[in-house]
Amino acid sequence: MNVFGALFFLAYLGHASACPALCKCYSRRAEVVCSEAPLTQFPSVGLPENTTTLTIQFTNITSISEEDLKAIPKLKELHLFNNQLSNLSSHLLRGVPHLTTLDLTGNQLKLLPANVFSHALLQILVLKNNLIEKVDASWLPDNSNLTWLDISGNRLRNLPVDFLQKIPHLENLDLSHNSVEKFSTGLMDPLTRLTRLNLCNNKLESLSESLLHGTRNLTYLFLSRNRLSHLTPNIFLELTQLSHLSLDDNQLSSIPEGLLNPLNALEDEGLDLTANPWMCDKKIKYLFGWLQKNQKKAFLPGTVVCAGPPSLKSRSVMSLKETELTI
């Protein structure tokens, strides 16, 4: 090897081995992983310019800015989970226009600035387990490319219509483990491509009859562990593609006649009705008949039990005789 070749080789080695302190760099897949608690600032120095995937986890970083990300313009995936992030700068993604995935799970985010998620073609955005009390349409560009949005485990009480109008391509929406009490009529209408909706562990007491009429492509709907005491007769009317529906751990004592009839696509064990205070009187006749005909579609049908009247308490609805439902 001549002198020039040796110098070039040494320069190449120096460039290839460049990596921020407290991080590991994997040049073949253009990936950097930083997972050391002593890390308190974004590791801008030494980041390979060709990085396409960056993971920073379990550190003490508290903020990240547009300037930090400019060092890695080819970034496609940014995973920032379980840090101490409390601040994100406005126009955060202006320097990473190719970014498609942003995961901010398990931080201390509460208030986010306008345009924070603009400027990149984001498809997946995860804000799970933060302190967010309000979402704002100004976070996103018009006609956002988002197909997956997870805002579970925050402190949301509602969701604004103008926010959902900016994400018409959304296929998955997770709002579980929040404090949502009600949704406005027509809120979900912009989400015509939605296939999966998770509303578990909220404080919903009722749902408007037309709430889901625009989401005809839904295949998974999770409503477990809310406070639902009744359902309107036509709420599932348009959900002919639904394969899984969870209604367990609510306050349902009966369901209206014909409620489940449109759900012809339910898979085996696709409907969960357990842990509700079913009142086994005349009003339970529809559910009783449906279970008799569709036993395989119910999850643990034998555990759908009567809370009353006293003479039938703790009896499985499936075990009843129609003559017993006369009260």
For 2-12, how does the pLDDT look when each residue is reduced to its tens digit (9 = 90+)?
544 443 343 33
Q: Determine the pLDDT at residue 327.
A: 65
Tokens of 45: 């120095």
Positive or negative torsion for Cα 220, 224, 227, 228 = positive
**Euclidean distance between the first and final Cα of the chain, in Å?**
97
- The span from the CA of 113 to the CA of 135, in Å, is 10
Q: Determine the pLDDT at residue 324.
A: 81
- The span from the CA of 245 to the CA of 240, in Å, is 12
- The span from the CA of 9 to the CA of 210, in Å, is 67
Query: How far is C-alpha 32 from the chain's CA centre?
Result: 26
- The span from the CA of 268 to the CA of 90, in Å, is 47
| DSSP structure class, residue 94 | T
Q: 15: helix, coil or strand? A: helix
The contacts of residue 11 (CB under 8 Å, 6+ apart) are none
Q: Are 303 and 278 in contact (CB under 8 A)?
A: no
Residues across the chain: 327
Q: Determine the pLDDT at residue 255.
A: 96
Q: What is the CA radius of gyration of the chain?
A: 25
Per-residue pLDDT tens digits for 24-73: 999 999 999 999 999 999 998 999 999 999 999 999 999 999 999 999 99
- The span from the CA of 141 to the CA of 129, in Å, is 23
Q: 8: helix, coil or strand? A: helix
Q: Are 110 and 133 in contact (CB under 8 A)?
A: yes
- The span from the CA of 85 to the CA of 82, in Å, is 8
Query: Residues of the chain whose pLDDT is less than 50?
Result: 3-16
- Please indicate, yes or no, whether the overall pTM of this predicted structure exceeds 0.85: yes
- The span from the CA of 82 to the CA of 107, in Å, is 5
**Of the candidates 52, 42, 45, 59, which has an alpha carbon nearest to the alpha carbon of residue 73?**
52
Q: Quick one: which H or E segment has residue 221?
A: strand 220-222
117 C-beta neighbours (distance < 10 Å), count: 23
